[in-house]
Structure 1
Amino acid sequence: MASSNTEIAHEFPPFFRVFKDGRVERLMIPHDPPPLHPKPGVEYKDVVISSETGVSARVFFPKIDGPDQKLPLLIHYHGGGFCAGSPFDSVTHNYLTSLVAAANLIAVSVDYRLAPEHPLPIAYDDSWAALQWISSHANGSGPEPLFNNHVDFGRVFLVGESAGANIAQHVAVRAGVTGLGGVKPVGLILAHPFFVGKEPDKMIEFLYPSCSRVNDDPKLNPNVDPNLSKMGCERVLVFVAEKDWLKSRGVGYCETLGKIGWTGAVELMENEGEDHCFHLFNSDSEKAEMLMKRTVSFINQE
């Protein structure tokens, strides 16, 4: 009989497996991670959001042109099925470096804690706490001087891909319901969002053990959220990919926004012939560049 440290209790490829002794092995960590691709004029720094929880973030910023320059702020939540990914990995780092260079903005990517070691809804709570911490700089007296001095808090955008898009959507609704001390996000950008459907999702059920019915949880399924019409932003841009099995859920989300009385503007863009989050892994492709240009245009439109 296999010992408990080698016998598998749960396995959810391509994300992780759990052994009977409780050890978690992640399956998506490359042996030779791709290199970071620096962009001229773009720098980054890491900040601690909560010393109590260990939540941190990576901040990306362009060259600042004088002490009074104010730039838009993009708040990013990474994908990875709530159990993988990081602001510090090369995929997120390279994408946000390129976006900062293209849009001339400040971006912050939140390192929320990952399940299953930190079960859902911890990722949502960490992400909301990060948004509150960022908003604490709006009066110019927060702990991070870059935010105090150079962020235009009238131009704040929430963005995420896959599970990160789910989180971004949730915190946008939460901001509309509870407020952020005068800071109201202008826009929400969701790339190939992960929302649960009607069918069972065994991995999400495992990651969210305190939830009896994940399909009916408004964080995972915004179509059943009674507060969706109160979402705290003015514009939403949703990207879906033709070959992505999640495409119908992104389309359905846009349709729901049009039915419930939300007063903002919603735009849907389909990436034809592409699969889930292709723009992160094939960033030099023509269609990835089109997605980037549309994102920049959405951010910079008046």
Structure 2
Amino acid sequence: MASESEIAFDFPRHFTVYKDGRIEKPWTPTQFFVPPGLDPATGVESKDVVISSETAVKARLFLPQIAAASAAQINKLPLIIHFHGGAFCLYSPFISPITTFLSQLSAAAAAIVLSVDYRLAPAHMLPAAYDDCLAALEWAALHADGNGPDPWLNNHADLGRVVLLGESAGANLAHYVAVQAGAKGLAGPGVDLTRMVLVHPYFGNEVPDPYYQYMSPGSCGTKGDPRFHPGSDPDLGKMEVEEVMVCVAEKDELRERGVSYFETMRDGGGYGGVLEWYETRGEGHCFHLFKSGSEEAGVLMEKIVGFVKQGLKE
């Protein structure tokens, strides 16, 4: 009989699965948890909403101070749909680094932010996260005519000006949503995905990724899986968004995957939109979330906000 401590699979620094079915992670949902409410530093208010009663998937909404003025002037705000990182297995929108970043972004971009708390591997293997993120877009689209389930989006969100944003694995999810929205018409009438920002994206390369293979049963973990290797996707040219910004960091171990993604989109993937590139020197993976007060994080925020605002002019 196998010992209870016998390991079935180990993803270092992310999770360990034991043969008795136990899962251990270095992080739990209660660590760094920040409840929704008013952020005194930015004046942004947040609340949590249920995206799907069937899966119990939630999201956090961020509403900037300017929303009150926009409501009085019947001038709605753009919507940023955000997908957090964490290798498909860690974190949520409810932890302090992500809540801080999104509060700052909402205030600086004068936009509503919807951040999806998708289901995590290995308790929920892929494609659960992909399905949840698509469901979030469809849920947001219910508000296009002002008659959706959430009053903040009904009263303040302009679904004709939607931006997709993700970091790390969340960038992978954002890309998938953009492609599927175009290929399957998931956004619906009155919804326009104008731009997408991918920060330090997590995609595949020429070498099979054993961790992605484990979390996505049946995946080859490299070329041949269109979710993990965009160059393999026959629907890439149907991507909904017209402009994409790719951000990488010089010392990020995933930097070359961001480079490869950019080159695929530029040279041979069938994408006909506009591409923008930004690289942060001297920093590592998702540094902006854990060093939010640094000069480099401030510059990255300015780049993202500038790109977003450029595409959201009325």
Same fold, TM-score > 0.5, yes or no:
yes
Which of 36-45 and 272-281 deviates more?
36-45
Give the aligned residue type for 2:18.
Answer: F
Match of 1:19 in 2: 18
The answer as to whether partners of 2:2 and 2:19 remain within 8 angstroms in 1 is no
Among 120, 126, 136, which residue is 1:120 paired with? 126
Q: Which moved more, 1:242-251 or 1:118-127?
A: 242-251
Aligned to 2:129, the other structure's residue is in SS state: helix
> 1:144–1:33: structure 2 CA closer, same or farther, 3 Å change rule?
closer
TM-superposition CA deviations, 1:215-252 (whole Å, max 9, x none): 42101111111111111011100101111121111112
1:238-272, CA deviations, whole angstroms, 9 ceiling, x for partnerless residues? Answer: 10111112111111211111223422110011111
For the residues of structure 1 that align with 2:75 and 2:151, how far apart are their CA atoms?
A: 13
Distance 1:263 1:298 in 2: 18
Partner of 1:83: 89
CA contact (8 A) 2:178 2:240 kept: yes
Identify which of 128, 153, 162 aligns with 1:156.
Answer: 162
Q: Is the 8 A contact 1:57 1:109 kept in 2?
A: yes
Work out whether 1:282 is the aligned partner of 2:291. yes
State the shift of 1:288 in Å.
Answer: 0.6
Q: Where does the alignment leave 5 or more consecutive residues of structure 1 unmatched?
A: none
Q: Identity, % of aligned pairs?
A: 51
Q: 1:204–1:214: 8 Å Cα contact kept in structure 2? A: no
Q: Distance in 1 between matches of 2:209 and 2:40?
A: 38
Rounded Cα–Cα distance in structure 2 between residues aligned with 1:19 and 1:40: 43
Question: Is the partner of 2:52 in helix, strand or coil?
Answer: coil
Q: CA deviation at 1:2?
A: 7.3
Of 185, 188, 198, which aligns to 1:181?
Answer: 188
Distance 1:269 1:290 in 2: 10
Query: 234, 259, 262: which is aligned to 1:251?
Result: 259
Counterpart residue identity of residue 44, structure 1: S
1:49 counterpart SS class: strand
Work out which of the residue numbers 268, 285, 295 in structure 1 matches 2:277: 268
Name 1:9's counterpart in structure 2.
8
CA contact (8 A) 2:33 2:94 kept: no
- Change in 2 beyond 3 A, CA 1:224/1:172: same
Segments of 5+ residues of structure 2 without an aligned counterpart are none
* Partner residue, 1:58: 60
Q: Letter of the 2:44 partner, please give it.
A: V
Q: Distance in 2 between matches of 1:184 and 1:18?
A: 41
The alpha-carbon deviation at position 213 of structure 1 amounts to 5.1
- SS of the counterpart of 2:60? strand
Deviations 1:172-231 (A, max 9, x none): 011111121121210000000000111121111111113355542101111111111111
* Structure 1 stretches of at least 4 aligned residues deviating more than 3 Å after TM superposition: 28-38, 212-215
Deviations 1:25-57 (A, max 9, x none): 111449963878643421000000111101110
Distance in 2 (CA, whole Å) between partners of 1:87 and 1:240 is 21
Structure-2 residue corresponding to 1:141? 147
Q: Is 1:294–2:303 an aligned residue pair?
A: yes
Superposed displacement of residue 10, structure 1 = 1.6
**Is the 2:287–2:297 contact (alpha carbons within 8 Å) kept by the matching residues of 1?**
yes
How far apart are the structure 2 equivalents of 1:48 and 1:224? 33
2: distance between equivalents of 1:113 and 1:255? 30
Distance 1:259 1:148, change over 3 A: same
Aligned-partner residue type, residue 133 of structure 1: W
